[in-house]
Structure 1
Amino acid sequence: MNLTDLREELTAHADDLGTAPDFRAGVAARVMQTKRRRATTAGAGAALAVVALAVGVMTSVGRPAPSVPAGTPSSVAPMLGADGMPLRTVPDAPGDITRDGLRLRANVAGDHLGVGVIGSVGGSLITADWTPTTTHVSLTGECYLPGADQALLQRAQLRIMLQGAEGYFGTGCRDSAPTDRDLPVGGWEPGEPGQGWPELTLGRREEVVMRVVDGKTGRQLDLPGVRIVGAVYEQGDRRAIRDGAGTTRAALPEAVEHQGYRYRLTAVSSGPLATGGLPQLDLPTTGPVLVNWGSAGDGLTGTSAPDGTTELRLEGLRDGAQGRGYGASGVVPVPAGAARSLRLVAQGARPDHGVGFIAVYTLTPDPRP
């Protein structure tokens, strides 16, 4: 990568570069998998369950890869992460929730913390209440069980529910303690895309209950080493991605954050999956960008061609094409000079409905994260 070009770009945008934090390797690709919720095995967080009437969209917020400083803190070279993207430390801010070296941030890009709790070690139940100012929210829920064996991890499940409403959102527990200071943001987006969580009432006090239970019986598990983290983030502005019938199939945030820097949505290309040319988009000629791409629509997950191969691919990246199944979306960081023109390509049979999209986020001049 040409660090001279990147330094000039970042100097124009930000003047408060910090030192590199100690990030661990985490889930790749993230802003919104249609998340931040992985469907993995029990050892790293068991497969999600979205049950009963708790309709929602899973989003994905991957964690930054380990940092690789591009120069010493005293140099003028920007700090870069292992993905080649700018990286800086986000300082504490009013409204942040901190405990035992962990933090839930008050503001992340355009989203604001409605309520959050970092539970104590050994607590299998936490509750939190707030008065919503919007029905468009995302839920964060994490359960940590350091040293637990596989039998216990397969039983234990964190359930998050709105008091008085039916259904819950569920996920497994991790077998380790949190290692990043900043806890994840998002996880589930309740409600249909663009419509918000219908069970919320503006101006009325609402309570969220987070409990570790036996996944088979639903009975609470009291475990000495468990720790729960939960939060509700009220979402900022979203941009609707609609299909040919005018139905909103995805709602993309107008601002996102990556490794301490804010990026704003500057270009979107979308189109039907069934017919015609698939979306393509040219990138800015300078500077790093984030690319959110994928597809959305009812029942797209699991759609397959007769030979079993089905995939939507993003081509034009310097390091080769990326692929993901229909009905999923996510963000890929693109360092300066790593790509210029992107396009979606169908691998196998195309679905008969749904919408595909490519969205580009560029580094914002706003110095705040």
Structure 2
Amino acid sequence: MPLAMSLFKTLISHHFHTLFKPQNPLHRSQVINSFLHKSLLCSSLFYSSKTYSPRFEDGIEPAEDNDQKENKKPLDVIFKEAVSERLGENAESSESESEEENKELKSRLRELEREVRRLKAKSSCKDDLKKKESKKSKRKSLYAVFTNQESYIERHAERIKEEPEVYKELSPDMEVFVNHLYKEGYFNNANFMRGNKLEFGCFESRYGRDFIKFAAEKFGKDNQEIAKWLSGSDLKKVALFGCPSLARKNIFAAKRLRKVFEIQENTVCTKCVLKQSCKFVNQSVWKGDTKNLNLAVVMRVITLYALESVPPELAVPNEIKVSVSKLLKEVLKLSQSIS
């Protein structure tokens, strides 16, 4: 095929050269006729070579070309297929990566949970230690600051923790009074008494002693009319002695008793051995009825002396003990006479 085309081009260029070369008219007509004849021959040769070539035989193109045409796809289809394949690969890789990340996150979360538990345990221990230290490092009194010694409250708190809560036996006067309270029903709600039977051994604990104080004060509220018949001299001796303890309620009960007898606070507080640890030194009582004697106040004060529930620094003289014993007997006698 390329050989035929080159021959055809050579003949055409030669004949055009001879055709347009200046000659006589007759010769020109002959040349034209010969050119037409030769050109027809060349065209027939070109057509025959084209028709009988293996590519164009029977007007059917080769199967390879047909397959290539069929296999040819538009660019947008090829691009979409490539993108989808890439996305599929990315999705698979992202899924595997996400699974690995989830595993790592879960393991980290477990480690964090363990660490949080450890920190909580440590913080709870630290809080307990801080509470204990704060309890120990409370504000000290002036006595504790200047003498470098613990106050009574601190010593008493430590003593409560260290010493067993076991007390002495009740005095004979106190046993008689407790027996009277038991008969009057003031120990009906006492869960420490077995079978609701009175046993004085039950009062050798701190809880039993506190229950006696509660029952005696309740008895005073229920029998207020007895107060006006009590011995004033014995009550005044007890009032002048001071406060039986450093508890707030006990301090103000003693102050109310002193207020009834118009005893100045400074006359009592200046000679009190507990004044360095007391928060209410020289403070008077103004609220409530301070002119009339309250039997509940009296019972709170004398019961503490009768049970010997006083600080060890406070040495109770025999004179005060005798006055307390007399007052208990008077209360018991007056209660029996009224009932």
Q: TM-score, normalised by structure 2?
A: 0.24
Q: Who wins on radius of gyration, i.e. which is larger?
A: 2
Instruction: Give the number of the structure whose residues are more often helix, by fraction.
Output: 2
Point out the structure with the larger strand share: 1
Higher relative contact order (CA 8 A, sep 6+): 1
